[in-house]
Structure 1
């Protein structure tokens, strides 16, 4: 049986189980790709390895709590199992919010999501996005170090709190990736506003 995910021809080709032949998926027209890209919220950068690793650890902890809940339920204590399921659901929600933290762009505006809250600005309310050198929190902890942040400025009122920095979970130890992301976000804002 061919295993396309182990070979070099894994670029989207699927294998027909009955015949064993490669079947390529239908390709989208360039216009369709452009439309689908600009009709939904998307993050113009990938989450960093520390963010993904932290999320994986939280999900692993949730799996352990769920497994404990199953053992407690088999032992006959349903209220204890219910508490374990509730804690696991809370951990899964935290993991989901943790991986979605950052700046998102879409056809309606710019969205900045943190762990507990989010702010959405329409494109008319966004004056611009720029990189600023200032003291920032190291991995979101109380300790501050000198670093760069991506600041979203409003047309009226003060700028949004800095959420994406070169000392955060997405870009710690990767200054080049932060610079490329800052340019990508600025380009996205200019494209959607223009």
Structure 2
């Protein structure tokens, strides 16, 4: 089974001249791999969902089907949360830039993007309230002021914690997409 999210880094490294090594630029894609913290959290959630599904089968065999349905619904919520956790991140295409968070998705067409740049600033560690000094990739829109811009990627989020070279590659790739399509 092909796993396209695993080929993002290899495609970036394989392209010597082209900053954007993709043939189909109209398709939404994440220009980096999900990090080990994100994949590990999703795996734990799926493991928990498997136990809950097993509990639903046991409850269905021994108790009322309504209670088994409630437990089955809880397992479905765990699975949906794990899949959403894996989907989080920055996605790019020829149409624009998309920032997928756990509960929301924001899409900005390239015409609304004035600048995508890496800045040094305090960033949240793994999305928790604790902040540390790090780098963040931010997007500035044409119609908004520069203050209070939420970062797209940070060096301390679940994708890039303890992987600064992966953050640099991902930030360079997103900036290359922005440079090409903002001018075009």
The TM-score, its normalising length taken from structure 1, stands at 0.78
User: RMSD in angstroms over aligned alpha carbons?
Assistant: 1.5
* 1:55 Cα deviation after fit: 0.8
Residue 78 (structure 1) shift: 1.1
Residue 162 of structure 1, aligned match among 138, 151, 154: 151
Q: TM-score, normalised by structure 2?
A: 0.82
Q: Equivalent residue for 2:42?
A: 55
C-alpha deviation, 1:158, in angstroms: 3.9
Aligned match of 2:163 in 149, 170, 174?
Answer: 174
1:113-192 superposed matches below 5 A: 113-158=100-145, 160-192=149-181
State the structure with more CA Rg.
1
Task: Pick from 83, 102, 115 the counterpart of residue 96 of structure 1.
Answer: 83
In the alignment, the residues of structure 1 paired with residue 58 and residue 90 of structure 2 have an alpha-carbon distance, to the nearest angstrom, of 40
* Contact in 2 for aligned 1:110/1:121 (Cα 8 Å): yes
Structure-2 separation of matches of 1:186 and 1:34: 15
The match for 2:13 is none
**Is 1:83 the counterpart of 2:76 in the alignment?**
no
Does the 8 Å contact 1:98/1:115 carry over to 2? yes
Mapped partners of 1:182, 1:60: distance in 2: 32
Per the alignment, in what secondary structure is the counterpart of residue 133 of structure 2? Answer: strand
The CA deviation at 1:163 is: 3.6
1:68 paired with 2:47, answer: no
**How many positions carry a matched residue from both structures?**
161
User: Residue 34 of structure 1: CA displacement?
Assistant: 5.2
Contact kept? 2:139, 2:152, Cα under 8 Å: no
Aligned equivalents of 1:67 and 1:34: distance in 2? 42
User: Unpaired runs of 5+ in structure 1?
Assistant: 1-32
Please report how far the alpha carbon of residue 152 of structure 1 lies from its aligned counterpart in structure 2 after TM superposition.
1.1
CA contact (8 A) 1:130 1:186 kept: yes
